[in-house]
Every structure is written in C-alpha cells, then in structure tokens.
Amino acid sequence: MHRVRASLFVSAMALALTALAPSLAEAHTIPGGLTLHQMASAADVIAAARIEAVFAEPHGAGPLPPVEARILELFREGDAKVGPIRFVPHRHADENYVAGEEILLFLERRRPDAKDAAAVPYESVEAIADRIVLVPATRARWIDATRAYAALGKGARGGDPAALGRVTVTMLGSKEPRIATFALRDLTLAGAAPLIGEADAPALTTLLDDASRPATLRVGLLMELERRKLVPVGPSWIPLLRSAPANDRVQVIRAAGARAFVPGVTAELVSILEKGERDAAVAAARALGVERNEAAVEPLGRAVDREPDELRFAALGSLRRIGSPAAREILARVAKSHPDRETRRVATTEQNLLDARASAPPSAPAAATSPPPASSTGFGTKGVALGIALVVLVCYGVFFLRKGKGNPQ
C-alpha cells in the first residue's frame, strides 16, 4: 500500500514540476541578451577593466574557472577597490575572455556560501559572448553611456521612468549602433511606461530621416513611435522605404507589410514590385498580401506573368491571402491557362487553400461574458495546473501523516 501512496505522491510532484518548468525557464532566460541599462541596473560593481588572466578549465565537470581583471576606472564601486579583481564568468558555449582585452565589467556579488566566494567574490552579469570590448575609436561613447546608466542607480524597478526616458532618448541618437539598439530595446521592453512623450517626438523623427542610421534601427523606432501614438500610422514608412540602403531594403519592405493597409504604403510597395530589383520585388509581392488589400490585386496579377518564378509564387500567395473575388479570378485563370506548368500547380494549390478557408465552419461565437482577467502573477493556465498539483500534494501529505499516527508501519 505504501508503494501505491509513494507512486501517487511522485505523480503529483511530477505534475507540479511540469507546471512550474516553463515559468522557471522563462524567468531565467532573456532572449537576445541584456541591454546596457539592464546590466547596469543589476550590477553591484561597474568598471572599465583589462583582462589580466584567464585560468585553465577544470578537469571534468565543475564550475568555470575565475577570470582576473585589473580595474582601470570604477563607475559603481560597491565594495570593490581599484586593482585586480577576480570574478566567475557567465557563458553559454565555449567563449573565453582574451588576456589584454579592455572591457566593460558588470559584476554581481556572489552568495556568501558559494564555493570560494571569499577569494572570488563576484560573478559577471553579462555573458562572455555579449561583452563590450573597449577600443579607441568608440571607447568614449561607451564610457559616457555607461556613466549615464550607472547614475540611474541599481534595481530595475526602483528607478525614475522620466530619468530613464531622458537617457534612452540620448542613447537612441548615439552614433554607436549597439548603444542605440540597446536603447530601442529598453523602449520596447518598457511597454506602456511613459519613457518618451510628445516633447521627444521631433528629435526622434529626425532620426527616422537619417539615412546614415541602420535601417533596422529606424524601423524599430518607427514602430515604437506609432505604437505610442507619437506619429501617424503609415506615412513615415514611405521615405523609409525609399531611403533604405540596398543591403537592408528587403528587411524594411518585409516590415512595411504590417502597414500595407495604408494606401500610401501599398502604393509604394506596388512601385517596388513593378520597378525594384529582384529581391526587393519579391519581398514587396509578399508584403502586399494583406487581407482585403484590393489595391494590390491588379499589380499582383501582372506579376504572375513575370520572371522569375519566385516572384510569381510570391504574388500567388499574396492573392490567396487577399482573398477577394478579383484575387480569386486571377488564381483561377493562372491555374487553368498559365504557360508554366509549375506556376499552374502553385496557383491550383493556392486556390484550393482559399476554397478550404471559405468552406470552413464559422468559429464559435464569443461568450456573452468576458473571461476573468489573468492573474497578476502571470501564471494563467500554468498557475491553475500548479494549484491543482499543490492541492493534491497537500492532501496526500495529510493522508500520510494520519496513517503514520495510526500505523507505525
């Protein structure tokens, strides 16, 4: 009997761990690494330092060996002193620091009970692969940016949003692309927090018109300005599409597809479809495939008779996504009479997909009452599963205690 009880207990524990596992994984992982602000807000010690020694890997499994660095300049001292400092590195693969390299260090105090904590009191916040190497050409920019973020203080939630907003606007204008990208990520991660406002819009829209800035940065900034209702949705994409450099143009066209419902954006994408070079035209053909985008149907219909075949297939896919009667007619015509056999096959496939979508049963109507709001803890469905598992655990624990009192076995 006790084996049955133990088996049930283990099953309940497994359910609890299954419910918890995704939350634990999500809490530990930050996709894309940390921004400069996140590293500065987490660090007990912030410094410019030179790597002095990278010690040998231990034999077999074990903790990473410490790294020794000489502090050149402190931006947040904690209890560190200018001079050599040892810390445990943080990495996800086989990266290593390079002796002689000058870098920015963001260090956290280790737990007092950690192995060798007295001799190696710190661990790095940033992963080795994400380290910021200081070189003469950009050193001053990184130092100034690090000072600004260090001045905001430690702790991600305790800072002043207005102060972070001022630093963010300044860093978005940095000539160092990585600093500006960090600032854009801070702006995105802030959600609805008022980091920027109408007073900042003129300076930020100037950045949108600066063709020397990376196109991906300008796209991300434009999306944020639109999301925060600081610029009208749509019009700013047109000069961005026209000024994007050749190596970034496809990415900008793909992003502009999210605004293809704006007539001016559709017109610009049609122009690229008809006059752009091959990769740009193919990207425009895909970007125009927005449901009910009737203005794109005729240009896409002309594209199905052009070379290369990749352009024809992209146009056919967009006609299926538009799904209007005029788009259906073109798909039917191409499936029946296009001179290229493969194009006919693709058109038939797209036509069948469109017919299947039209014949699908309508989705169930929404409930009359709104569902209860998600828990503020963020667990949602996982929280329900976890709660059930914990109730089961408690019940079995009480059961075991009672049986233990009545039966010594």
Q: Which residue has the higher pLDDT, 358 or 122?
A: 122
* Region 399-403 average pLDDT: 44
The pLDDT value given to residue 325: 94
Give the pLDDT confidence score for residue 364 in this predicted structure: 60
Cβ partners under 8 Å of residue 270, min gap 6: 284, 288, 295, 296, 299
Q: In the predicted model, what is the mean pLDDT of residues 129-136?
A: 94
Q: What is the pLDDT of residue 43?
A: 94
pTM value is 0.73
Model pLDDT for residues 53-91, shown as the tens digit of each residue:
988 765 555 567 889 999 999 999 876 666 688 898 987
More confident call, 239 vs 358:
239
pLDDT of residue 22: 36
Is residue 210 over pLDDT 80?
Answer: yes
- Interval 258-269 mean pLDDT: 94
Lowest-pLDDT range, 10-19, 126-135, 280-289, 356-365? Answer: 10-19
**4 compared with 136, residue with greater pLDDT:** 136
Q: Check residue 409 and give its pLDDT.
A: 37
Domains of the chain by start residue, with CATH: 36-143 (2.40.50.120), 262-358 (1.25.10.10)
Mean pLDDT of 285-310: 95
User: Between 255 and 381, where is the model more confident?
Assistant: 255
Average pLDDT over every residue of 202-224: 92
- Provide the pLDDT confidence category of residue 139 given band limits of 50, 70 and 90: very high
- List pLDDT tens digits, range 337-348: 999 999 999 999
Query: What pLDDT was estimated at residue 221?
Result: 96
